């Protein structure tokens, strides 16, 4: 194992951010991430857990917000439906430099809290 990252986001606080800053979602999430969230009853829960995943991945990579574009960390879904990651740009370069060959991602959320765990092998 190369690294482990965990992050939690409060859904209601994240909802306020999305409402106050309309362009925030487009700056942080890929088109596919936003499309997937929009198909859900409460898109905010899905976006909040994806934001938590991006933060968890940054922790594994040893960087903070501003070091890489958040859109460079994309939460996808495997054919099985399990969450997966696709890294682009600087995030992909950092992962390669650290020797990451595989990612494990676990997402969970309730109406109030969204949590993500990222593990790099």
pLDDT tens, position by position, for the chain (121 residues)?
899 999 999 999 999 999 999 899 999 999 999 999 999 999 999 999 999 999 999 999 999 888 899 999 999 999 998 999 999 999 999 999 999 999 999 999 999 999 999 999 9
Q: What is the pTM of this model?
A: 0.95
Q: Please name the residue that has the structure tokens 């690294």.
A: 3
Tell which residue, 50, 88, 97, 53, has the closest CA to residue 69: 88
Q: Rounded to a whole number, what is the distance in angstroms from the first to the last CA of the chain?
A: 4
d(CA 120, CA 1): 6
For the domain spanning 3-120, the CATH number is: 3.90.470.20
């Amino acid at each position: 194992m190369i690294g482990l990252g965990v992050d939690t986001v409060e859904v209601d606080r994240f909802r306020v951010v999305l409402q106050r800053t309309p362009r925030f979602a487009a700056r942080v999430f890929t088109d596919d991430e936003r499309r997937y969230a929009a198909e859900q009853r409460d898109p905010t829960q899905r976006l909040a857990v994806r934001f938590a995943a991006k933060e968890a991945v940054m922790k594994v990579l040893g960087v903070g917000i501003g070091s890489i574009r958040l859109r460079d960390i994309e939460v996808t879904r495997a054919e099985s439906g399990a969450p997966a990651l696709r890294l682009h740009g600087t995030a992909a370069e950092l992962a390669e430099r650290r020797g990451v060959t595989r990612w494990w991602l676990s997402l969970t959320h309730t109406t109030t809290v969204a949590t993500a765990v990222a593990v790099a092998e």
